[in-house]
Structures are given as C-alpha cells and as structure tokens.
Chains A and B, each alone.
Chain A
Amino acid sequence: MKKNFAPSVLIAAVCCVFAVPSFAATCNSTLGPITAAGPFSGSDCGNNLNYSGSAALCGGVSFSTTGTDVWQVSVGAAQNFTFSVTSAAFTPDIALLSGSCADNATCVNGTDYSTGTGTATSAAVTGNPGGTYFLVVTDSTATGAQCGAYNLTIAGTLPVKLQDFSVQ
C-alpha cells in the first residue's frame, strides 16, 4: 500500500510518490536564492488538451485549445519573485497558483501583466510563505488559441531602495 506522510519534514516523500518520474528528481530541494534564473525553453503545443476551454483551476484560469503547460516550482520562504514568459508564437497568459492558499483567498497569487506583445509577467509575489507553486502557461484567448515555443524566466526581486528624493 502506498503511504504518504503529510508533515513538512516529509513533504519530499509526498511529492515523490505522486509525481511522474521526471518530477521525482526535484523532490528534495527548493529553488535556492532566486537571482535571475532561466530562461527555460518550453513548448505548450498539444499539452493538456483535455482541459481546453475550461476554467479548471481555482481563480478561473482557462486552458488553450491547442496547448497549456503547467510548471511546478518549490520556493523557499520569504523570497520575492516574478515569472515571465516570452513567445513569438503566441500571446502568452500566465497564472501562478499557490499550493497552500488560505480559506479567504483564491489560489491564484497574482494576475499577470499581459502586454500583448508576446510577453506576460506575473504580479510579483512578495513575502511569500514558501512552498509549492504551479505556473500555468497558456494563450490569452483561451477559447481557441495559438501555441508554440516560449521562454520562461524567474526573477528574484530585492526590496525597493530609495536612492534620492528632492522637492524643488
């Protein structure tokens, strides 16, 4: 019988048991201090078509008819970060879902800033409690959409720093 242990110290075991084989390799670690990670290359064509047109995920994230990618990432506590997706093939739309959202929150951590120019950037996640996030990469039109190659980048963000202020 498969047993999964829920406590945080055993969380690695949980994800390993559930995961597809490629997932297992990353079970024991989170992303280290995020600097400027990536770009990671991907293509969403043909992926997860069973969900096309549906708002299957909390927060109303829809899936393209031609392909949607879902990335899983574990992030350490108190890290600030944003995700960006750039594509020449489609107009990306991204959503970041928290694996541990509170009762009074949607699971989407931030609506993306879709520029419509082939780049979408997630709203910055700041002061997060750490944990598992799922990043959905799809086309912004959802009900009938393009797909293709894209680059995914993670950027860590430092606290805002005021360098100068004057009133003349």
Chain B
Amino acid sequence: MFASAILAATFFFASGQAPSSSLAFDTCDAGEAYVFSAAECEIGIENPGDKSVRIYDIVGENTDDRPGAKELVVAPHSRAYLKVHIKLDHSIGPKKHFFKLRTDESGRPEVRVTAYNFGLSMVDAKPEIEFGVVDMTQPRAERSLEIESHDVADFRAVRIISAPAWLDAHLSGDGRMLTARIRDDAPLGLYADFIKLELNARAQPAAWISVAADIHGDVVPQSNPIVMGLLRANSKNEFLIPLTSRSGKPFTVERVTLDSVEGDVKVGNCIPDKVGCKWVTLVVSNKQQLGTLKGNLFVDLGNEHKKLKIALRGLLVDKDFKVKTLDPNEAMQNSGKSLASSSVDVSKAIKSAVDAAAEATPPGHGPLLKWTVANGLIIHGFQIFRSASENGPFVLLNQTSVHSKATDEAAATYQWRDDSAEAGKEYWYYIGIVYGDGHKQRLTSPQKVIAK
C-alpha cells in the first residue's frame, strides 16, 4: 500500500531558505498492526555524493516513536538504513509518524522523514457508540456495542478503564457487550470522548470506543458545532449564535465563557426581540493562534441550572493565505460519467475479465477462496476467517490482509488458498473487509467446503 519512495532531497530553494541535504530518504511502511501495539520499519538513505555524511539528532516527533540509532554515517555512493520503532495509539487506519534529523552537511540541514503504519482494531464492530441528538426532556434509550472479535479465540473485555462523566457505561458479565446511557445530570451540548476498555488479548491490550452525543435541553443553539469556515487574522471575525427555547419560554443566561478560543463573547436579545430567543455574539481575537481553530463556547443557563457546550470549529489563517476553491459548477462540467450509472463500461468489464484470467492460482491443495468485488477503491484489504461450523467460532487466518488492488470502480477478482486445512475435514469460510479508514465489515456469508 505504502510503496517505499525515494524522496529526492535535492530541492529548489528560494533565497534565504533553509539549507538542504544531498541525501535521498525513503519513507518506510511498518505495515498493519493492532492499535496500542508497536511496529518497526527501516528508512533507506542514499548518499549519491563523494563524501561521507553523518546523520545525528534523530528524534521522533511523537515521544513514543524512537529511532533505532542516535546517529548514523552514510558512506559515499552507498546506502544506509535507519530502523525506527513506532508506537500505535488508538487510531485505526493509516497513520504517519515523523522523525526529524540533522546532517553534518553545509548549514546542518534538518530533514523530516516519514514512517507509515495501518492501525487495525481487533473489535469486529466499528469501535463507536453514536447517540445522535439526545432529548433530555424524553426518556433516554441505552446504546450497546458488541465486543466481539473473530481475529482471536475467546476475545472479551476485562473491565472499563474509564468513561466520560456524562454517561453511565456497563460491561456485561461475559465481557462481550458494552452498554451506555446518557446520565440524568449530563451537561448539555455536543460531547465526544472515549470509553476505554481493557481487553484480554495480548496483541491488543486495550480498545477505545468513541462515544458522541448532542445533548439537548430546552434551550438549544441553532447548530452545533458552529462551523466558522475560513477566518483571516486581523479581520473582524464576528459571529452571532442564536439560542432558542424549544418550549418558547423565556430563559436567562448567567455567564458565557470560551475554551481554547481567544475572543470576546456577550449575550443580547434577538433582533427583533422575541421571547425565548437570545443571541450570543462571539468575536475571535487577533491573539488567536493560526491554524485549526477547535474550541468551545460554554453557556450557563440559569433556568436549567446547566452548562450548554457549543463546539466552535474553523481554520484561522493570515491575511495573505491563499485558499483555492473547488467550483461545483466546474466540477460538474468536468465530471466523467456518473459512477452511479447502471450502464456497463465495456472496456472496464474486459479489463476486469482479463485481470481475473491473468492472475495465477495460488499453488497448493488446500481450499481455494475466490471472490470478486466492485467499487473497491475504499477498501484497504480483505481478511479470511475460518470455522469448523457455520455458526463459529471463526478465527482470522491471514495475519496480513489481502490488499485491495482496485485502481478504479471496476470489479477485481482475488484468490487465497488455505494451506493449513486438513484433508477430508469440513470448514466454513467467510471474507471480511478492512476499509481504508480502518473499520471492518463482513463481506460474505460463510461457505462450506470439504478440504481435499
């Protein structure tokens, strides 16, 4: 997936810019690994010059990522390898890990090199509980998530390490069902956090389950989050955020505060004045740090005796920052044939058939699995699961996914042989998908075969 690439470090520089290195650095791919585990790979470094180059001050930008050596010498006209150890966090899907280093060339240039990994979750279901809008004036339902995995046998959660204060979380006695419910005393507004579980699996000792809710009382903002879009520094970035009472009753605001956003806020009546309606005026300060703006506005509601949290999102750039816009009209004019079209693209169909025919059947005598999938661009890879019976338990057979080979939406055919099967024995197989963002889904129902 992440082909190793030589990143030429012979750069063009405008005057006054940082010195460059003559070395060429590969990226490296640590491959698939379970979240919270560790992985490693080697970054190739090519020295095309006539002098040795010493590399030093090698550090991971993330403190948990470590280089295998503190310094390295690359001989002239040769190649050296820097091993890097990376620590996976809770993130599933592709992730970059950056390392910085310096060389002893002229100007002591600093170089940033990259290692990749693909984080897999052992939990079969997408590790999230999404409550959506929760109306606190109505009875609240529980939400559940099955803590199951076909990757290993006897998988279960051991305990809840922590959960956000605004919900009650409960693990079933067998550790295979997580249930959550928004608490009666939960604050109002948009909340997203994690329920952290300890697992009994050595390869993945923990799982973080994302939980999110938009908790509504009587008074609600007209949208949450407030998406401010692109803000330019040293401009008057002012927003009006309407608050309305769903019951149409008057309400009071005791205090408004900002978190992680520099600015001023004040509360006033709506114009025209209306019962059950107020405006919060937010002015983002010129002291706000450039970059992604990600903060919150807290509104203390007197009547409800609760805080309302309104998320603020935007991108703050300087006055001269250039942003290009994809024009929808141009996009539509330029678009090719709709992918939703039911008509058949003959050339793609032929390509698919030729590809399938051309692929050699894997050698061996075990059961041969063959599957064809269209629209596979969003797939990272496929997992093969096997059981002795239709209802399981199923166990993952391939430690590394069968990578998707889709380059467009045309159908692609895959083959995989199970050489570990015993002749004469009955097996059930199914295929699972790992999507590009790391979440998993069952692709097929189980199929039976007697191994030859």
Contacts and interface: CB of A to CB of B under 8 A. Distances in A.
Contacts of B413: 164
Contacts of A102: 190, 192, 210, 212, 311
B359 interface: no
Contacts of B96: 60, 111
B93 interface: yes
Contact of B326 (A73, A105, A155): A73
Given A103-B311, A146-B11, A146-B12, A14 B229 contact: yes
A22 B327 CA distance: 10
Contacts of A162: 371-373, 443-444
Interface string A119-161: 0000111100001101000001111111100001011111111
Nearest to A37: B331
Interface in A15-53: 15, 18-20, 22-23, 25-26, 29-40, 42, 47-53
Interface residues of B, number: 116
B326 A154 contact: yes
Contacts of B2: 113-115
Contacts of B378: 80, 82, 124, 126, 157, 160
B367 A70 contact: no
Interface string B410-432: 01010000000000000001010
Q: Which of A2, A4, A53 neighbours the largest number of chain B CB atoms within 10 Å of its CB? A: A4
Given A53-B18, A100-B313, A157-B378, A72 B291 contact: no
A78 interface: no
B444 A165 contact: yes
Contacts of B219: none
Given A4-B239, A52-B17, A167-B449, A141 B328 contact: no
Q: Which of B25, B290, B328 neighbours the largest number of chain A CB atoms within 10 Å of its CB? A: B328
Contact of B292 (A1, A42, A48, A58): A58
Interface in B313-339: 313-315, 317-318, 320-332, 334-339
Q: How large is the interface on A (under 10, 10 to 19, 20 to 34, 35 or more residues)?
A: 35 or more
A107 interface: yes
Contact of A123 (B94, B100, B332): B94
Contact of B369 (A155, A156, A163, A166): A166
A143 B110 contact: yes
Contacts of B98: 60, 62
Contacts of B3: 115-117
B420 to A, nearest CB: 14
A88 interface: no
B193 interface: yes
A54 B182 CA distance: 40
B1 A113 contact: yes
A9 B42 CA distance: 51
Contact of A33 (B292, B340, B411): B340
Contacts of A35: 335-340
Contacts of B326: 26, 31, 37, 40, 71-73, 152, 154
Contact of B371 (A14, A70, A165): A165
Contact of B324 (A42, A60, A160): A42
Contact of B229 (A66, A71, A99, A126): A99
B21 interface: yes
Interface stretch (B151-159, B394-402, B433-441): B433-441
Contacts of A101: 294, 313
A31 B328 contact: yes
Contacts of A66: 11-14, 17
Nearest to B7: A141
B34 interface: no
6 contacts: A3-B238, A69-B322, A82-B378, A123-B93, A126-B435, A167-B369
Closest 4 CB pairs between A and B? A116-B5, A58-B292, A7-B222, A124-B378
Given A33-B338, A114-B27, A146-B8, 9 more contacts: A36-B337, A66-B11, A70-B323, A71-B326, A91-B5, A102-B212, A111-B94, A144-B17, A160-B379
